[in-house]
Every structure is written in structure tokens, then in C-alpha cells.
Amino acid sequence: MNDMQKEIVEGLKRFRLEKIEPLMEHDDFEGKFRMEIFNELGELGFTGMTASEEYGGLDLPCQDYSYALEEIAKSSVAYAVTISVSSMVQTIINTFGNKEQKEKYLPPLTSGQAIGAFALSESGAGSDAASLKTTAKKVEGGYILNGSKLWITSGGIAKTYVVMARTGGEGAKGVSAFIVEDGTEGFTYGKKEKKMGWNISPTRELLFENCFIPEENLLQKEGEGFKVAMSGLDKGRVAIGSISVGCAGRALDEAIKYSLERQQFKQAIFDFQGLQFMMADMACDVEAARLLVQAAAKSIDDGKSNQKLASMAKMRASDTAMKVTTDAVQILGGVGYTKEYPVERFMRDAKVLQIVEGTNQIQKVVISRQLKKEYGQ
């Protein structure tokens, strides 16, 4: 890490240990998201890290952003994910929005006064996102949205939603992107999902019933929504990879500290070779995942975003998070399975990292396609 990255990580470490860590056991159990924590992260500049300085962001490179998400995830995967999704919305609006849209929506998001959410998935449109059914019918002065979105991260707490809806025929070319504000008439929330992990981060259904969206809230032109939706994938996958590394790194840290203190047969359990080998593998996996994530982030910073690297980073890092957190629970034994120690929470939080931003099976499809291209096929 360079000096700037070290400064970012040290600042976030102090913040998470003081403000986030003491609340995690209670808030995870209660499913409580604290907007004041997000606001404070915004005051420190961490909710608009990659956004343009013109609209209140820090305009930091992706590698700096990656280290920041990793550090936040060491205390809370949920808050790190909230920042990453809101940052994706900022990137979309900054890239595809017009001047008026940027001036209206970006400053509240970059400052941490508002949260952004991304609404693409539906009951029948997950990995096959181009098959979405939510419609946007053109009327005088705008569009009428009808339909629903499922599994929306930050649903209910976000103020600004980027929503994909069908304005044309079947397939990707019929999809358009809209900015929808919380409180818009005809826009309501369905059930709040009861999840295995990420309990602090709400996941909700979005419902649109004759919801009027003014024409000025259309992003780009009709039929360009799928391009808008796919534009942030590489950066989003790097973000999930970064969060995965933080999750795995914290679990490894907890496993090592516990094994050095826990005595069995008159010695620390760390001194048993079987556990040493487990932790050596865990440490290698975390470091390898971090290097892969940073390589993908660097490709974005260099203006040569590498889809294969981004998919590899997301897949390998999230698989590492699942494996390392599972092994950490095993090393702690019985107490690892209880809420007395945080490793059980990180194990639960790790699972969905293998699913979001494209399942890891989809990542293998993407990687394979890129390999085929590289071999001229």
C-alpha cells in the first residue's frame, strides 16, 4: 500500500473499532441499520470515494476504494455492501446522467446523506437480467412504471433508485433505465427479506403500481438501460471481492488470536500441526485473493477494465471468504458456533458474497467466454 492507502485504512480502522464494532452483535440480532453511522462515514468522505470532486466525491482510484471496503468489512460486511451499492449508483449517474441529474442526485449520495440502490433483479430475471418484465409505458411528460423488483439491497432505506424497466420489445434492447425517488406516488415496498446473513442491510421488494416517472428521470435514451446496468459490473465485482477479502481476513485474525490463547493438553491449540496447516492455507488464500482483487482494481484505474480479472477476483475472493470463515468456526470449535464470537456472523455473511453481483457459476461462464476469445474462437 502507498501512503494514501495506509492513511485511508488507518482512519477507517479507528472508526470501525470505535463506532461500528461495539454495536454489531446487537444490531445483527435486531436487523438494525444505523443511518447515523452511514452519515458519519459520509462526513469522513467514505460514501463517495470514487465519485467526482465536482459533486462532492473524493475521486479516488479503484485500488484505494478496494482497500477501504476491505477494512470496513472487517467489522461489518453489511455497511461495506451499503457503500458499494450506493457507489455503483453514483458511478451510473455520473457516467450516464445529464448535468441536471448529476447536480440533483449526486451530492446527497456522495455526502452520505442519502443512500443509492440498484434495481434490476425480478422473480424471473436474476442471472438472465435481460428477461425482466417490469414495464415503463410512455405517456405525456414521462412514463408509467408497473411491476416489481426483488432482492434489492438497501430497499426501504435508500432514497435514490436506479430502476430498469421495459420500454420496448423483448431482450436487452427493450430495457431502459430510470432514476426513481423514494416517496414517489405509486412506488411502495414489499416484504423485508429474512436472510441468513447481512441482517443489518435490509433487502426488500420494490413495487410499482401506475408509478409516474417524469421524462427527465430517464437515464440516456430509451433502450439503453441494459448498457447502463452492465456498465458497473466490473467495478461492482471488484467491490464484492474487496469485501470478501475483508470478511475472510477478519475471520483468520479471530482464528489465530483464539488458537494462541486456547489451551488443550497443556499447550496452545495453535501449536498443533493440524491447525497450523489450516491457518497457513487460510493466510495464503486471503493474500492470494487480495492480490487478485487489487490486480482487477488496477486494470480499472489504468483505463483497461479487464472483465476476466474482475470475474476471477469476485469468484476467488468470495469462495475464499466462505472457506476461511468456515474454517475459522471449526478452529474455534463449540464457541465458534455461538454468537459469543463474531466468526459465525462472518460465516453467514460470506455465503451471499458467492451469489451477489453474478453468482460464482456465472463468473465461470464469463471467464470461459473471455478465454475463448483470447484463443481466437
Task: List, for residues 247-287, the tens digit of each pLDDT value.
Answer: 999 999 999 999 999 999 999 999 999 999 999 999 999 99
Q: What is the distance between the alpha carbons of residues 192 and 211, in angstroms, rounded to a whole number?
A: 21
Q: What pLDDT, on a 0 to 100 scale, did the predictor assign at position 49?
A: 95
Q: What pLDDT, on a 0 to 100 scale, did the predictor assign at position 305?
A: 84
Domains in the chain: boundaries: 3-114, 117-229, 232-374
- In percent, the amount of the chain with pLDDT more than 90 equals 93
Confidence category of residue 128, pLDDT binned at 50, 70, 90 = confident
Angle at 194 between CA 115 and CA 31, to 5 degrees: 55
Helix and strand counts by DSSP (H, E) for the chain: 12, 10
Q: What pLDDT, on a 0 to 100 scale, did the predictor assign at position 186?
A: 97
CATH class entry, domain 117-229: mainly beta
Q: What is the distance between the alpha carbons of residues 187 and 180, in angstroms, rounded to a whole number?
A: 9
User: Rounded mean pLDDT of 48-57?
Assistant: 94
| Catalytic-labelled residue, pool 122, 254, 344, 357 | 357
Q: 376's torsion region: left (phi>0), alpha (psi -120 to 50) or beta?
A: left
Higher-pLDDT residue of 232 and 240 is 240
Fold of 3-114: Butyryl-Coa Dehydrogenase, subunit A; domain 1 (1.10.540)
Fold of 232-374: Butyryl-CoA Dehydrogenase, subunit A; domain 3 (1.20.140)
User: Phi and psi (nearest 5°) for 23?
Assistant: -100, -10
What pTM value is reported for the model? Answer: 0.95
C-alpha cell at 267: 499447550
Task: List, for residues 293-321, the tens digit of each pLDDT value.
Answer: 999 999 999 998 899 999 999 999 999 99
Q: Does residue 234 surpass a pLDDT of 90? A: no
The yes-or-no answer on residue 357 being catalytic is yes
Q: Which long-range contacts (CB under 8 A, 24 or more apart) does 307-312 make?
A: 307/233, 307/234, 307/366, 307/370, 308/366, 308/367, 308/370, 308/371, 310/233, 310/234, 310/235, 310/237, 310/238, 310/241, 311/237, 311/358, 311/363, 311/364, 311/366, 311/367, 311/370, 312/363, 312/367
Q: What pLDDT, on a 0 to 100 scale, did the predictor assign at position 181?
A: 97
Q: What pLDDT, on a 0 to 100 scale, did the predictor assign at position 126?
A: 75
Task: List, for residues 193-213, the tens digit of each pLDDT value.
Answer: 999 999 999 999 999 999 999
Q: Does residue 98 surpass a pLDDT of 90? A: yes
Confidence category of residue 129, pLDDT binned at 50, 70, 90 = confident
Name the DSSP letter for residue 54. Answer: G
User: What average pLDDT does the structure give for the chain?
Assistant: 95
